[in-house]
Every structure is written in C-alpha cells, then in structure tokens.
Structure 1
C-alpha cells in the first residue's frame, strides 16, 4: 500500500529536536546524511560476480562516463552540428511569441585575437539570451564590431614597417580595413566555438556604409541642437599618436616618474590690502609647486584659494620672504630643508589685485587670481596657471581673458613661439630639463626632485600624454547632464553601486572631445574656409554626403574632389566651382561617438532590455551611448545596465605577455602544444568558469580554477548519466505514476525539485549565474547523489521492471532529469544537448533549447512533506552515525516511538511491525526495520541505543515526542541477488527476490 500524504495534516510539523549536545538544523541534517551514505556514482551493484546478475535491472545508457582529452572538444563540435547551434537564433526569431528580449551587444574592438575578457563578456550575454529564449521570449541580439580608430591603424601600419611612412590616406585606410576584417573573422570564429547564439551572417560593423551614414545624421542632429561645437580648448593629447584623446582613452600609470619643482614667482605689485605688511620685506615671492615644469613658459597667472588662510614667511637660510598657504608652512619648509618664520597670516582674498614677475620671462606679468580648483592637499597652496595646458587653467583664463597660446606642437615639441632655447625640444624630455636650467639661471628654482605618481597614458600606444590646446570638436555634456541623470533613475543597475559611478562620470565631464587627427574613421562632415575661421555645414551638405556614403562608404571623403562632395545647389551659392574656397576637414569622429550611436543603427525604435559590458565602459561605451541617446531621444538606451569586472590570473595579477600569464581561450578549449601542461578542456568548462565567477569584482582564471571546473562538471555529468541509465526502460506517457500514489520519498524529492527549479529560475532572472551554480552544487551532490540515489538503488535494480514502487521512483527521476538538463542548458549548452540526445523517450524536437524552460507542478510543494521526511531522516542520521564506515545492510534497526502524532506519521512509512521492504527501511538503508510503540522485551547486549525527540505542532496541538533507535547486527544471511541480510540461509534468495524471479 502506497502512502497518501494529507496536505493539511502535516503543514505545521517542525524539524527534529535532539537531546543534549545536538545543534543540528535541517541543513546540517542533510550534510550529515550526505557524509553517511555511499554516493550515486559508486557503481558497485548487488549482482557483481553473481549468477543472478542478468536478473538485476542495472542502468543502461550509451552516454560516456567521461570524455578524455580531445574527446570533449570533438563531442562539442559534433553537438553543435547535430543540434543546429548555427540555426538556433533564426529559429527562435521566427517564433510567434508576445514577449521580446533585447540585449544590445557592445562592439568589441577588431584589433586582435579573442581573449578571456571577450569570453567573460560574450558568454555572460549568451547565458542570458539562452535563458530568455527558453522561457519563451524572442531574443534580439545582433553582434557587432568596432572597426575604426587608432589601435587598428597603428597595428596595421606596424606590420608594414618603414613602408608605412609614405602611405597616402587611402592606402592607410585600405590597410587598416583589411586588418580589421581579418580580426573580425578570427574573433567571430572563436565566439561561435564558445557556443554563442546569434545570427552570425547579419552582424553590425561600424565601417558599414549604412552605419557610417547614420553617424553623419546623428552628428548633424546634435549640431543643430547646439550640442556640438568647435572651439580652441585644452584636451588630452597623445604626442605618440599625434591626436586628441577622450578621457575614456586614457589609462593611468601609477609608476610614472616626473620632475617636480618648487619655484619662486617674485612679487611685482603687492596686493593693496597687504601693502603695509609687505613694506620693507623685499624681496617677496609666491612659491608654487608643479610636476610639469615644461608648462612654466606658458604661465599666465598664479592662483590662490580666496577662503583659505595664507602666510608671509621669512626663510632662515636665505632671508627671503615667501607667500604660501598657512597650513603648508611647516611641510614646505621641511621639503626645502629650512625653517620659516611666520611674519603675518591673512585670508587668501587679501591677495587680490597683486601680481608677480614671470620666473623665466622677465617682461611678462603673472597676476594673482582667485580660483576654486586650488588644492591644499599637495604643493604650496599657490598654483601656477598655463591656460593652454590645463583644464582648470583654461576656465580661469576664460574668466579673466588671459592669453591661451599653445607652445607645444602635435609631436609634443616646443614651437618657435617658446623661444630659441626651447624650440624643437620635447616637452616631457629635454624640454623639461631646459626649463629647469632656465629657472636656475634666474635664481627662481628652490628645489627639484623626482616624484613617482599616477599619470595619464595613451591606452593604445602606452606612452604619456600631455594637455594641449587646439581647435577641436566638442559635445556640450553640461547641456545634457540634468536629463541624463533623470533618465538614469529609470535604469536598473547591477550592481546598484554602478549608478553612482555613471552619475559621477556624467557630472565630472563638462564637455567631450569627439575629433581625432587620423584617417581611419568616419570624417567629421564639415568644410573649412581656406582663409577664414569658418566652417560650412547645413542640411543640404549633410543630405548629399549621406547619400554618397550610403552608396560608396566614407572613402569618398578622400577619393572625391571637394566639388563632388558638395551638392550642386550649395556649389552655385558659393560661386565658381573652380575657385572653391572650402576644403574638407581633416578630422575624424572619436570611435566612442561611433560605437555610442550603435543603438541608433541596431535598435532605433526601441530601448534595449540589457546592456552588459565590463566596468571600463562606465566611462566609455555606456557613457557615449547614454549621451547620444539623451541628445536624440531624451532617454537612456537601456533598461538594465550590468557591469562586470576584469579578468586576472589565478594569482590576482593583470595578464600580460611580459609576465607570461596570458591565458588564451583557444588553448583552454583545444589545449596547447603540450597537453600534459595545457589539456583541452572544451568550451563548457570555459562557460562554467564564467558562470561560477563573482563577475562583479575581478575574475580570476588559471589551471587550478579550470581543473576545479572540470571536476565539478564531471560530477554533474555522472549525476545526469545515472538519471539517464535508470530511465532506459521508462516512458513517461505510459509508465508515470500519479503524484499522490508515489512513494513518500519520491514525493519529497519532487517537493525539493520544485523549490530548486524556482530558485534557479529566480537566479537567472537576476543575472546571478554564480547563484545558479551554487543552487546546482547544493542540489545534485548532497540531495541527489549522496542521498536519494543511494537509497533508491535497491528499488531500481531489484524490483520487477513494472512494479509500481519502481515506476514511482522512475517518475521522480524523469522529472529530476528534465529540470536538471534545462537548469544547466544556458550555462552548459553542449552537455545539456548531449544529455538530451540520450534521453530514450524524447523524440522531437531533438534540442533542449527548442523545448522550453523548467516546468514544475504546484502539487509538488506540499506543506508538511519536508518536515515528515526530515523526522524520519533524523532517525536515519542517528542510525548511520552509530556505524561509521560500516555497511548499513548488515544491521537491523528497531525504532521505538511513544504513542502519539509522531508514531502515526512514521507508521505511514512502515505499515507492518517488522519489514525490510517498507519506505522507512528503504530510507534508513537497513536490511530489516521494526517499529514499536514501546521498548522490546529484550535488547541484545551488543545493541546500540540512541535517543532523540521531535517537536510536532499539528493543527494547534503541540507535542514533543521521544523516540529511541536500537541498532543490532542482523541475524539473517546475505541475499546473493540484492545483498540485503534478509535470507534464511546462505546463498538463498530473500523472499522479495524469490517473488521477483518467480
């Protein structure tokens, strides 16, 4: 008789309460249980070397237990072909479903091989897309590539060596394009091998004609809204690349060494409010400190903080008088190796209307000016201002109408305007040394020392940048800041702290330089007058250029004469075409502007449900996408923004060729030259690593981590293989047992399965794939392999094939397999498909990805079911804990429970007084079990007695029930078929096996 558990009667049962010293909970009970029994992968069977072997229903499956070496990679390639990985995206795209999910792909840069950073990003996206597709949404995912820009241009030219110096713009563009196309094909092949689902025949590329034309439209749209303008401003400039840079194109070198100096600016005109104090204190100088001595020739002022206190001090060594911040007196004196006597202290505002003599240019005056950017944390509290070479300096100069002449050219060398001593010298090298010598000759140098600090480098050439004023094109970020911040409030950020970073980045950038001085890119669509400082751009010129670019691509800017680039109507307005006074501009668009407009080309009429990229894109693609979308549509282009960390070696080091710790995804999958050192792991291990990692911080990878991932997948594989093997003779349509008629332990597993399925689904929805892995690892090793599988083997192997008890178990196993294979599918698509191909009763479709997401029944979640089984498991733990390392079948167990609710519950699992075939005896894994309401008359001397209690709260009735577990060696003989000690004499079948074979 099978037990039917009442939904209402057990809803209030509580977990067991043990005697003194017991601190267990439901969770620890499971852990103890897992340690106490053999795992499901222990392939010993009761029929080994037995004449009854053929009568035992052993697992049968053609799925290999383990794939070694190249077998793993070969199997994955076979699965991709057999299961139609390449056709999956187009299949799901054609489905008639209501829900859509759009993940907009941030374009990777087409300048090299695919690396582990690509793997982390693309696999995270693919896991997301596969989950969304399986749960019924139509996925929109168009892969893209960022194809223009300096890194590609430099790499392409570097391969040509000296020949590159004499190339024309079009030769450079052709070379760069060929390089980008080759890189795209390499990366695309890698992404496909990783199992990334996409329509690979319809990607987007920023060098496509239509994409380029859309950029020109976006530029003009923002230009007409007065969001784009041209101005002479200081920008980050890369002398090594001879182009302006945006802040996102910088990387900071913390080990950069600069020459820092303390210098004097002799007072020329005393501030009126300090005239009486300074009388007779000559000479007096303001002291400045800078790490960029090369900017001294361009100095136009000395600034102070008006709200801070300043002091006039007398130097004990030289007798000279200096002005500096009051709180810096002691520290500066120490640095200069002297002592300062404070003569007077006053408010910075009292320095107003004073001026200094330029320290190396005798006839130049440097006024004393107030400025809020003066920082007292370093230096002297007096800051020298070079408007052409500093962002804050430029603001001060604009306010006070100071000259902004730039003395450094595109190569970072001083120009003729800097004077004969400095002309043609590199500002960061010999130019700095010369400036220091000039300060020494005028006796205005107080100290020179090297300082190691963080300094901006060009992230492509890896060389220092400078700040240099030049005519550039800018986006007015300040005009969009309020709208951008408001739009971000409607975006979900993962992790949530990312929002603050996005807002800070937006507030920190008043403008964005979008012009570059190279040729591999999309031209800024303006024409410059040959002699006047004016540009030509209007709707007619843009419409004409857009038509040309859509048809021929942006090469026309360099291949067609100016009169062909302008429409006939505009030409007629300008006069004689032969005497055209306008020429095409030589600047190209910043690649961040290019990639930032990708939403306009890929999803112009909608917002993406998700943007998912690395944290470096907070100031890059995320930012440029936000700004261009806000400019055009006044809203963010994304609903959810997920930011992941960078990849590091397993030692936490940044990967670099010099350290020899670079790990190639291709080597991970296919193995290196020496397989003993670099074995082939396959793509699924790479995907497991991605899912398992804590992606919101830095993600480590190495052989130790990959080996652990392989071990985990092997265990999972064998769990799935056990499920398959025991379903070889099962057909759910004809053999399934209704839930209410199933064994209680089988019902219990479906109860746990329903909870597992819900947790996994929720974790996928939250993009927390690490939690998916944790739920998997909490479920299949302890609850399946080490617990459930170990107790059901007897029922699976030794009962009749169609016995209801066996079919009950198989019904549970089929449901478990179905949920498990779907739960792992987004992360391990190759393993999931391999398992799905081996399910004997699955016919069509032969792909787990075309058959939907996890489905469980609400009937499985029965209140009280878990507590009921836990009560029995508490007794089981006591029994198994008393015989550590021994075979539980060699013992008989007697359970004594005081009459009451607990006895009634356990009696439902054990209907006869003594039985070796009850549900309770199966769960306890004893050969024979007796259930008594009072102590037996006699207890053998070698018996082990264990006591416990269980608290019950049933329909308002609370009851603390005691029980006793008595363990005695079995008095029966071992059955040669099932190995239970249930036979009356040696080599004789037990009653159950006799009946089965009869």
Structure 2
C-alpha cells in the first residue's frame, strides 16, 4: 500500500502491470497525441544537427553512442531505380511466387486476374490495377497463405485486329488467316511489353506460366463452357435488333459502347394520316376532316422500316386543331403546348380521350404508299419528350422488336452491315449511308410526301463504338445470344451474397443485370474464337451437338482455333455427326463465320485458370468499367466471393487523360525519368506503388507531377524514420540483449502497447482492401508516435548511457520491435524499400521480409491502462514546453505539483524520488531536472512560470474515474551544462555530470 492506503496503480520500473481502459484510434490517440500538442522547443538533437562542440567538450565526442548506419536517407537521381533493380535480383523477387506455392499450408487465397487487353503499351491504368492486386497478394503471402495468382491477357477482338491492320495497305484484301497471323503477332508484342513493365513494378507472379486467351487449351475450355450453356438452353441463335457498328461491321454488346453526350441528331416532327379511325373516336373525328397522328423521332432514317405507331394506354391524348392550317392531329395531352411551341403554331383542343381509346386505329405510312401502320399499345412510350406517340421500326429498336413480336409484325431490315440502305429500301435510298446521305434522303421523302412538319437539330446522348469512336445503329440480324433473363435472377441472388467493395458498386451491378435481357455474344470478325456451328446451305439451319463440339474441341486443343479457318470442313465435321442430325452429306454444310465476343473469352477464364472442383476465386479486383464487362460475364458463368471495384486514373485536376491535353503519365517515365530529369525525374517503382496505395482507389485516382513528387517526399520521410531506428540498433542483438517488457521503462512499455494497436489496425485495413488507411496509419505512427514523441525523448538514453545499460537496452528493444513491425506493415506496398532496409538490419541474416511472416506483436504488449501514466505526464510536459516560447527546455528545471490521488500515484511510478535528472518522468518532461511534489513549495522564485491544468483519469472501463488538477512550475536551472550530454546537470561546465562521470569511469561509453 502507498501513503494514501491504496494499492499502487503502477509499480516502479521493473514490474509495471497492465491496466484496463478502452483504447482510442491509432489515427487519433485519446485526448492529445503525444508530441502533437505543440512544437518541441529544441530537444536533444541528433548529432548531425548539433552545433560543433567547443574545445572543452570535443574530448567527449567519441564517448557518445551516436547512430550508425550505411542505409541512405535518400536515393537521388538514377540511384532509386538502380537500387530497386539490384534489390529485385538480390532478394529473389522472381522466385517469391514459386517459393510460396511450395509451402505446406492449408490456407489458400486465390485472386483471379482479370486479363488486361493486349493492344498497346503499359499505362497508369495497368499500374493502378496490377499494384492493387500485388499489395493484396503480398499481404496474404506474409500472413502465411498459399496465394494462387495467374496473370493473363485478353488477346482476341477487334481493337487488336484494327491496330494490327492499321499500317497494312490493302488490309481489306487479306484472308482470314493472314489477318489472324498479324493480329496474333501484334498481341504477342504487346504482351511482352506489358509483362516487362509488370515485372519492373515488382508484381509477384510466375511470369513463365501466364494464361493467354489464344492458347489452344484455353480456347478448348472456352468452347466447353459455350456448349454446356448451349446444351442447357442458355445460348441460342435468333434474328433480332442488336447494337451494330457500321464502322467495324460487327454486332456489339452494351459493354462495348460509350455515350457521346454532345451527339447531334436531325430530329423530325411528322404526321401519319389516319386511314382507319379508332372505333371509340369515330364520333369525335369527322371523316370529312382528315386527321393525323403526330410523331417525333431523332432517327429519320428508320422511317422506311416503320411498321406501327405506339401509344401509352393509360395516358391522356388530345385531338387538336391547328389554328393556322385547320389540320387535325392526335398527340399526348401533356405534350400539346410544348409541341405547338416547337411547331410555332397554336393548337385548339377539340377533345381528350384515354390512350386505350386509340385501339384498332391505323395510319398510312408517311413515305411508302399503300403500307399501313397500325396504332398499338406499348408500355415503353414516355411523356417526357416528343409527342407521346412513338414511331416503331422493329428492325431498329429493342422495344420496337418486342411490340412486333407480340403483334406478329414484320421485322425486315433494310440496312446492310456497312450501314447502307439495301436494294429492298428502294431506288431512292439504295447504297446510301443511313447516318449521312441516307438520313437526308428520307427527310426529303417526308417533305415530298407532305408528311414533314418540322426538322431541327437535337443534342443528346448517343451510343458510339468504343473502339472507333463512331456512332452505332440498332440493326436486326441473325446473332447468337445468352439468355440472361433465365439466369439473371440466380445471378442477382448470388451477387447479393458476394462481398463487394465499395458496397455502392453492388447496386450499380444489380441495376445493369436487371436491364440486361439478353447478351449478344457473336461478332462478325475473324480474330477470335469461332462459334463452332455449321449451317445447312439451303435452309440455313444450324448444326451443333455433342458430337460436333467434341470433334471441334479435340482439334482446337491440339492446333488452336486457326484450324477452323485452315482446315476443310470435312476435317472439322464428321459424317457420323451429320447423319445423327438427319443430314445427308458434309458438303451440304458450311462453317459459321462468327466469333465469340471477347467478354465471353475473358468471362470464361475461370474454367481454364482456377483450380479445384468448385472453381471459385476468393477475390476479383478490377476497374469500375468491369461492372458491365468482365465482372458480369464472369458472374453469368460462375462467381467469385469478393469483388473489389476501383476507379479510373485521371489528371491532377480530375480531368480525363489525353495526349492532346498533355497530361498522360507514362509509368516508365515515372520509374526511369524522362529525357529531361529536371522536368521528369526518375522516381522508381515504389513511388508508383505508394501513389496507388495512398489514393482513394474507389473513386477516380489523380496522378501528375505534384502527386508523384509528394509521394517521393513521403517515402523519404519514411526512410529517415527507418534510418534513425537502424542507426540506434547497431551493436544490439535481440536474442541476447532484449529487455523483458515487465522490466522496461514505462514509456517503452507504452510504445509496445501502441505498436500492438498499430499492428492490429493495419492488419484490419489490409483485410478490408483499404490501403489508403494503411498509409495514413503508417504516416501517423511514424510521425507522431515515433519521431515527434518517442525518438525526441529517448535520444539522451540512447546516446549517453553506457552501451549495455538496461535503460538503453530497454529502448533499443522497442526500436528493434518497431523497426520490424513498421517494415512488415508497409512491405506489401513498398516491397523494394522493405527488402532494401531489411538488408541493413545488423542482426537480420538470410531470409527476406516476405519469407519471414507478417507483423508479430505480442498480445502481452497490450496494456491499455498504461496510457494514463504516459498521457498524464505528456499533458504536463506539453504545458511546460508550451510556456517556453521556443527556448531550450534543457535550460530549465520543472516542479510538478499534484494534489494527492491517482494522478500523483501514476507520476510516482515514473519518479520514485522527489527530485531527479535521470528519472522516467524527467525523460518525458525533457527538462534537465524534475521535482514531483504534492503541494506547492514555500518559496517560488519570482521568475518562475506557473501553469495550471487538469487531467481526467479513466480506468477499468470507467469504474475508476478521477479528475486531478496539477501545476507545472518552470524555472531556469542553476546548474552548469554538462560538456558530454549537454544537459544542465553538472556542477561545472568543465566537468561532466554525475551520470556521465559514472559512464566514463566504467570505460564503456566509447564506441
């Protein structure tokens, strides 16, 4: 018991016990973070920052244990990238993946790599994606998991074909095999460039065993998935409207579109004269006065394909009379005023009816004499623009096609694959481009027929081909489809069970799935995996069954899909398969010329890459564009457990990257520097990795010179922190020199407690893929908890105590643990720096950081109650330092007066004697001498500064709660400055202080 009759809260050094109190966030410690309340007025500075010693104390210079390390604080110029390359080689970066795959562990982690497209040089989008994946994989390797990660490339498709042929004269005359050979060569070149970049960025993988979508085994597996879905009825062939790119002459999926918000269309208002009045309106519409339905469209070129006019049954419609011409029109009641304004006229409402009253009416086609366009109900009609009556061309609209299917209307397409009107469109339109002169011709036809009421430019969002950046059309054709309607509900149910980061992305993907009734998977090109179907020459009937697909897959597995084009049909289609299908001869059939959509290519990658019976990955990690692309195509064929969705890279002002703007960032220039190093300095790969980690990757990710320079500065600050710790563990061996936590200084125990807390928070942030939080935690801990707080206090103990003194060994033990934990905490993000600094740790030999596990912070370090002692002392220390106005704290002594109670007991644990210059409390106060009293001294010098304050103690979850007041008296110290330690603790400026004399007498202060 102490003098107050209560057990001590904290014992004296040598046996501090744990106290229970909830711990605050490591990013913001309870009350004020130690060292963050005010700048520290000239604490004991590192040797390099100190003034040159005078002649009197120069003789003691070599007796001080200053930090020693060859680890460079900075790597300027070319040294950074050169050091990284040496580190990669020395530390076995290329062997790490194979090494961890050979470990005997039951814990597996599979990150399935969404294949980047093999159509160009590596860019910062690649860096963002691959580095995020690598951080994830390295974290799991260090945690003891056997990581499964097979990098791949998407190698087929139109973008590669177009680039491969862009510089070939007469490309249109090349055979399919010649096109395929050129496309393959181009893709192989792009793969090698990208692979070299990924290796340079430090991406851990077995780069000799990647997956490529043009590998024969991959193609064979893809065809197996195709037939399995076909056999279940999920894949079918049909004639229906699809997104069609005239510029590339192929069907497109919705994921292959981008929308031009400033597209200008030539919209028209036109009339369809009533041929047959709706029965319910015969009394209103006088046969002697002709009436027309009023229609608006932004695509006049589709009018020749019109088969009906649709109305909304539940909406109100008006019969109006034009006050200037006397003509009668039918249009939506809600659109009367706005339409009259557009037509620069006035409408007199004759009568109003329900849309359903328009049933059984019909109109004359506006340009084709004799053709009848019935009035039909449809739920897709809207009242937000136009006239509330919709021109319906089943060959050129998804909803239009649904109406036609329901009412058995013709769906003839009058437009060919190049976007030109066919002969069926008539001599006036034949061979005219529908988006150009064909559109103009239709408008003139409307005008000549007296059907055109108004033409005007209309700016709106319109779909473009994402490759050619040219507008698409909707065009009916025979295509292959995945019936997503049949699997959509199951896919949405599965998706709801998948963890999606960020959670907002799941709703976007569910909405996309909900809108997707079918997925067009056929493309009219030759660089891809063929749809393995044969067609009867005379009937066009499709032949595909288990026999035909088995034969084709066997050939593809051996020769690749080139065989489809290179071999005659007799070698691809057997007589037995034809006979089983009821056919007579192989020569009656032709090979299909369509290839599979590349989203189907990559979406079936799991079938080739993933191991195990269930073929599931733990994580898919891609950009937000894949919500409608690879994520969706993978989900419709299988599923992963976690989807991580990141944003796109943009310039420093949030603008889209563009060569014309000049804000494109080349990863190679970031790493190795540009032609002018003053403008584009070499940063190395770790700066690129730090940029990825520190960014909020779930939104758009900004990059540019300012961002990269700041990232380099952040890493240099981290290097300085590491260098301080490295320099001060020289001559220390944790195995023989460590001090048990129970025998440490209380502030050292407190640092172990903070290290445990830091390790836990960092680990959890990695688990949540929140790498920017990892960076914030790292920076806060290194800056506030280590540099500003701990390092500034322990320098005297480190430099001036005898080398093997337990007090010095105590903080060296903490530094060794902190060094190890800090390195491991950032190793997944900065692998080059982690391995580099690991080589400079004097007692670490052999294995690198990635082969020796994750953070190992003992649970015995967790002592929440210890915070009360340290933070109480820090509160008084901040009061003292804040009163000095930048003066040297060592020129002062401190008197602390605390009323009897818990706070006094805690301070007694830090300083047992009344006055001391070597106590734990004095070390925290950073003065030359500290006195601890329970009441004010009788005599206080007139020049003393008295600061008052209070401190709230909260222990054992609030069971012990006490607010104590204190006074801090700062006054100039009367003693002389010690020529060795520079503290004012000596009797004479020419004679070291008692502590230093003791160290010198032992003869062990010199290094």
Using the size of structure 2 for normalisation, the TM-score is 0.95
Q: Does the CA-based 8 Å contact 1:34-1:782 persist in structure 2?
A: no
Aligned to 2:267: 260
For each residue in 1:904-941, what CA deviation from the matched residue of structure 2 results, as whole angstroms up to 9, or x when unmatched? 21011112221111111111100111112221221111
* Equivalent residue in structure 1 for 2:391, among 352, 373, 384: 384
For each residue in 1:645-701, what CA deviation from the matched residue of structure 2 results, as whole angstroms up to 9, or x when unmatched? 111001111111121111111111111111111111111111111111111111111
Q: How does 1:469-868 map to 2 (within 5 A)?
A: 469-570=476-577, 580-603=587-610, 605=613, 606-629=615-638, 637-845=639-847, 847-868=848-869
Aligned to 1:165: 172
SS of 1:519's equivalent in the other structure is coil
For each residue in 1:39-82, what CA deviation from the matched residue of structure 2 results, as whole angstroms up to 9, or x when unmatched? 98784258756221111111111111110011100010010000
Q: How does 1:33-72 map to 2 (within 5 A)?
A: 33=38, 43-45=48-50, 48=53, 50-72=58-80
Q: How does 1:84-483 map to 2 (within 5 A)?
A: 84-160=92-168, 162-279=169-286, 282-483=289-490
Q: Does the CA-based 8 Å contact 1:38-1:790 persist in structure 2?
A: yes
- Distance, in Å, in 2 between the alignment partners of 1:543 and 1:526 is 12
For each residue in 1:222-260, what CA deviation from the matched residue of structure 2 results, as whole angstroms up to 9, or x when unmatched? 111111111111000011101010111111111111111
Q: Does the CA-based 8 Å contact 1:12-1:952 persist in structure 2?
A: no
Using the size of structure 1 for normalisation, the TM-score is 0.96
For each residue in 1:770-821, what CA deviation from the matched residue of structure 2 results, as whole angstroms up to 9, or x when unmatched? 1101111211101111111011000000100000000000000011011000
- Distance, in Å, in 2 between the alignment partners of 1:544 and 1:565 is 7
- The structural deviation recorded for 1:527 is 0.7
- The structural deviation recorded for 1:578 is 8.1
- The structural deviation recorded for 1:622 is 0.6
* Equivalent residue in structure 2 for 1:7, among 17, 21, 41: 17
Aligned residues: 981
- The structural deviation recorded for 1:263 is 1.0
Q: Does the CA-based 8 Å contact 1:5-1:865 persist in structure 2?
A: no
Q: Does the CA-based 8 Å contact 1:518-1:587 persist in structure 2?
A: yes
* More displaced stretch, 569-578 vs 794-803: 569-578
Q: How does 1:77-88 map to 2 (within 5 A)?
A: 77-88=85-96
Aligned-residue CA RMSD (Å) = 1.9
For each residue in 1:523-569, what CA deviation from the matched residue of structure 2 results, as whole angstroms up to 9, or x when unmatched? 11011111112011111111111111111111111111111111353
- The structural deviation recorded for 1:334 is 1.3
SS of 1:252's equivalent in the other structure is strand
Q: Is the alpha carbon distance of 1:113 and 1:958 closer, same or farther for their aligned partners in structure 2, counting shifts above 3 Å? A: closer
SS of 1:289's equivalent in the other structure is strand
- The structural deviation recorded for 1:27 is 3.3
- Distance, in Å, in 1 between the alignment partners of 2:105 and 2:41 is 49
Q: Does the CA-based 8 Å contact 2:16-2:743 persist in structure 1?
A: no
- Distance, in Å, in 2 between the alignment partners of 1:985 and 1:39 is 20
- The structural deviation recorded for 1:25 is 5.8
Q: Is the alpha carbon distance of 1:13 and 1:709 closer, same or farther for their aligned partners in structure 2, counting shifts above 3 Å? A: closer
- Distance, in Å, in 2 between the alignment partners of 1:122 and 1:83 is 21
Aligned to 1:996: 999
Aligned to 1:971: 974
- The structural deviation recorded for 1:337 is 1.3
- Distance, in Å, in 1 between the alignment partners of 2:470 and 2:30 is 60
Aligned to 1:634: none
- Distance, in Å, in 1 between the alignment partners of 2:822 and 2:851 is 16
For each residue in 1:570-620, what CA deviation from the matched residue of structure 2 results, as whole angstroms up to 9, or x when unmatched? 366689998711011111111111110001111153210000000100110
For each residue in 1:280-334, what CA deviation from the matched residue of structure 2 results, as whole angstroms up to 9, or x when unmatched? 5722111111111110111000000001111111112221111111111111111
- The structural deviation recorded for 1:440 is 1.0
Tell me if 1:920 matches 2:921. Answer: yes
Q: Does the CA-based 8 Å contact 1:260-1:448 persist in structure 2?
A: yes
- The structural deviation recorded for 1:4 is 4.3
* More displaced stretch, 525-534 vs 820-829: 525-534
Q: Structure 1 regions of 5+ residues with no counterpart? A: 16-22, 630-636
Q: Is the alpha carbon distance of 1:414 and 1:740 closer, same or farther for their aligned partners in structure 2, counting shifts above 3 Å? A: same
- Distance, in Å, in 1 between the alignment partners of 2:167 and 2:941 is 88
Q: Is the alpha carbon distance of 1:540 and 1:658 closer, same or farther for their aligned partners in structure 2, counting shifts above 3 Å? A: same
- The structural deviation recorded for 1:952 is 3.5
Aligned to 1:938: 939
- Distance, in Å, in 2 between the alignment partners of 1:863 and 1:271 is 83
* Equivalent residue in structure 2 for 1:26, among 22, 31, 34: 31
For each residue in 1:182-211, what CA deviation from the matched residue of structure 2 results, as whole angstroms up to 9, or x when unmatched? 000000000000000001011000000001
For each residue in 1:880-919, what CA deviation from the matched residue of structure 2 results, as whole angstroms up to 9, or x when unmatched? 0001322111111111112232222101111222111111
- The structural deviation recorded for 1:164 is 1.4
- Distance, in Å, in 1 between the alignment partners of 2:152 and 2:386 is 47
